[in-house]
Amino acid sequence: MSKQFDVIVIGGGPGGYIAAIRAAQLGFTVACIDEWKNDKGGPALGGTCTNIGCIPSKALLQSSEHFHHANHHFAEHGITATGVTMDVGKMVARKNTVVKQNNDGIQYLLKKNKVTFFHGRGSFVKAADGGYVINVAGATEDSLMGKHIIVATGSNARALPGAPFDEERILSNDGALRLGAVPKKLGLIGSGVIGLEMGSVWKRLGSEVTILEGLPTFLGAVDEQVAKEAFKAFTKQGLKIELGVKVGEITAAKKGLSIAYTNAKGEAQTLDVDKLIVSIGRVPNTIGLNSEAVGLKLDERGAIVVDGDCKTNLPGVWAVGDVVRGPMLAHKAEEEGVAVAERIAGQHGHVNFNTIPWVIYTSPEIAWVGRTEQQLKTDGVAYKAGSFPFLANGRARALGDTTGFVKFLADATTDEILGVHIIGPMASELIAEAVVAMEFKASAEDIARICHAHPSLSEATKEAALAVDKRTLNF
Ligand code: FAD
Ligand code: NAI
């Protein structure tokens, strides 16, 4: 006899566990199945985000930034710090503690919300009685029956053809977050979000870092002005970024690896490294889901096909997060999870794809929401632009971090904000104001007329909004 639930969620990452909590809040009986194991074989809820993604990467970025500051910026404050060393083992152990706190926190949240958790792999067995039978294969075997199924099985790192991850020398994000020592020479393939964040961590700790990027443009999805400023800042920090390369054979050398590639001029090159991180995007994960048993439709990329409401081709089966179309971001997965739970309850779940913020947690941080200047040009939208440099912001000067700017793009006629692009200190936090403004269809003038605390970095946001109307006060 199967255990009965109103809603069964397969996957306990940000898409899945949040969907499970929201469904339980709405009064459903809910099961959440997740197969991730910690190093003792126990559950480790939170998916890629918590275990080998957002959280551990930010922990290492923080540690490495402290190290960098102690070595390079304390002196300007009059602080002498000599003989500063980094214990990589301790840094990684701290990161593991942060991860575990999050794993345990999510387990507690499921319990608090009366979500029944099953540790193991969930797979479709068959459709039955207006619902679906789901098998859980873990330490024990369970059979569940659910009226609604939410699939939130996430994504996996994409490997280079012919160079599978061994997590020793050829690393995915998993191995990149577990290095036990600073590699002397580190190579990365792909100068996207992971390439830049992970490259920054190990560069700050002393690696000689080279990033090989296939495309001729740097950060093509980012506003061109921001991408240009970022490229300048990263190369100044010593990250070597080669654009427009074609990666060829990767061979094991005596100690590390040798990467053959062709540079943008078409010249044959070789890069010798101790470790290689491959960060060329991620692929949706439906491994072991047995989607064929019920005829769940996948696209040519292996993503589950869903409509705008996250409904699949099967009645009562929904899918959210990295396993479906759209940006692979934790907060996008969460928003979809909440919306689906609400739709199951007959409510109007809401996800606004136009106001999903992006953040790259490098130094300087990069954050944006809405359209870039190049997108507005392509779309033929008449717009006004205004920007304000952190160099002219008192708080940024006091912090000692004046790189970058805030840039507003607003409709030429209505003044509605169409995009906000930030590169600089705490861009990750500053972007929230722009998201709220865009969600409420604010104009640039609305932001310009709002009182912002002094001295704060957010004054740069206000000034950039004023700049749209060519009336900055402090620049
Ligand atoms: P996942 O988090 O991948 O969770 C899926 C879960 O389902 C996993 O626990 C998996 O074990 C489980 N599962 C899969 N199949 C089954 C099955 N059949 N049965 C049971 N369980 C199953 N995003 C951000 O927004 N901000 C960031 O700063 C950020 N940093 C990142 C850094 C790195 C290095 C990486 C790799 C990603 C980062 N991301 C970031 C992306 C973010 O991690 C993902 O977008 C997010 O985790 C997607 O959530 P999800 O719930 O869809 O899937
Ligand atoms: P990405 O899509 O951000 O970047 C991949 C890069 O690799 C691109 O620039 C692409 O042109 C390049 N590339 C692809 N194939 C190549 C090849 N064969 N040779 C050379 N270059 C090649 O993917 P990434 O960095 O792997 O991250 C995956 C996803 O994880 C991100 O898109 C994002 O959704 C998520 N993520 C989000 C973070 C955040 O929000 N701060 C942090 C890290 C990851």
At residue 24, does pLDDT exceed 90? yes
Q: Which ligand is nearest to the CA of 216?
A: 2
282 ligand 2 Cβ < 6 A: yes
Residue 148's φ and ψ, nearest 5 degrees, are: -125, 140
Instruction: Return the residue whose CA atom lies nearest to atom 41 of ligand 1.
Output: 329
Mean pLDDT for all residues in the chain: 97
The reported pLDDT for the residue numbered 254 is 82
Q: 43 is written with which tokens?
A: 């559950």
The reported pLDDT for the residue numbered 253 is 85
315 ligand 2 Cβ < 6 A: no
- pLDDT tens digit string along 169-201? 999 999 999 999 999 999 999 999 999 999 999
Query: Which residues, other chains included, contact 237 with Cβ-Cβ below 8 Å and sequence gap of 6+?
Result: 200, 203, 363
Q: At what angle do helices 427-439 and 458-468 cross, to 10 degrees?
A: 50
Q: How far is the CA of 384 from the centre of ligand 1 (A)?
A: 37
Beta partners for 144? 3, 134
CB-based burial label for 190 (10 Å; 0-12, 13-18, 19+):
buried
The reported pLDDT for the residue numbered 97 is 98
- pLDDT tens digit string along 329-339? 999 999 999 99
Q: Work out the percent of the chain whose per-residue pLDDT is above 70.
A: 100
The reported pLDDT for the residue numbered 404 is 98
Beta partners for 271? 259
pTM: 0.98
> Angle 324-325-327 (CA atoms, 0-180°, nearest 5)?
110
Query: Which residues, other chains included, contact 104 with Cβ-Cβ below 8 Å and sequence gap of 6+?
Result: none
**Confidence label for 474 from pLDDT (cuts 50, 70 and 90):** very high
The reported pLDDT for the residue numbered 357 is 98
The reported pLDDT for the residue numbered 1 is 77
Architecture of domain 355-468: 2-Layer Sandwich (3.30)
Beta partners for 118? 33
| Mean pLDDT to the nearest integer, 15-29 | 98
Q: Could you tell me which of 144, 178, 160, 258 has the C-alpha nearest to residue 210?
A: 258
- pLDDT tens digit string along 327-378? 999 999 999 999 999 999 999 999 999 999 999 999 999 999 999 999 999 9
Q: How far is the CA of 192 from the centre of ligand 2 (A)?
A: 4
Sort residue 56 into left (φ over 0), alpha (ψ -120 to 50) or beta. alpha
The reported pLDDT for the residue numbered 70 is 97
454 noted as active-site residue: yes
| Mean pLDDT to the nearest integer, 208-214 | 98
| Equal fold, 3-157+283-351 vs 170-280 | yes
The reported pLDDT for the residue numbered 288 is 94
Q: How far is the CA of 228 from the centre of ligand 1 (A)?
A: 30
Instruction: Return the residue whose CA atom lies nearest to atom 40 of ligand 2.
Output: 359
Query: Which residues, other chains included, contact 307 with Cβ-Cβ below 8 Å and sequence gap of 6+?
Result: none
Number of Cβ atoms within 10 Å of the Cβ of 470: 8
- pLDDT tens digit string along 250-272? 999 888 999 999 999 999 999 99
The reported pLDDT for the residue numbered 195 is 97
Instruction: Return the residue whose CA atom lies nearest to atom 19 of ligand 2.
Output: 214
Q: 340 by DSSP, 3-state: which? A: helix
155 ligand 2 Cβ < 6 A: no
The reported pLDDT for the residue numbered 255 is 86
- Residue for token digits 């339980």? 24
**Confidence label for 64 from pLDDT (cuts 50, 70 and 90):** very high
Sort residue 441 into left (φ over 0), alpha (ψ -120 to 50) or beta. left
- pLDDT tens digit string along 312-329? 999 999 999 999 999 999
247 ligand 2 Cβ < 6 A: yes
220 ligand 2 Cβ < 6 A: no
Cβ atoms 464, 417 nearer than 8 A:
no
Q: Work out the percent of the chain whose per-residue pLDDT is above 90.
A: 98
| Ligand 1 atom nearest 173 alpha carbon | 34
The reported pLDDT for the residue numbered 246 is 98
- Per annotation, catalytic residue among 69, 331, 350, 454: 454
CA-to-CA dists, residue 66 to 71, 141, 152, 178, 364, angstroms: 9, 46, 35, 19, 14
Q: To which CATH superfamily is domain 3-157+283-351 assigned?
A: FAD/NAD(P)-binding domain (3.50.50.60)
Architecture of domain 170-280: 3-Layer(bba) Sandwich (3.50)
CA-to-CA dists, residue 154 to 48, 101, 118, 187, 334, angstroms: 8, 21, 17, 26, 12
Q: 97 by DSSP, 3-state: which? A: helix
Domain ranges of the chain: 3-157+283-351, 170-280, 355-468
191 ligand 2 Cβ < 6 A: yes
Number of Cβ atoms within 10 Å of the Cβ of 373: 18
| Mean pLDDT to the nearest integer, 211-217 | 98
- pLDDT tens digit string along 394-451? 999 999 999 999 999 999 999 999 999 999 999 999 999 999 999 999 999 999 999 9
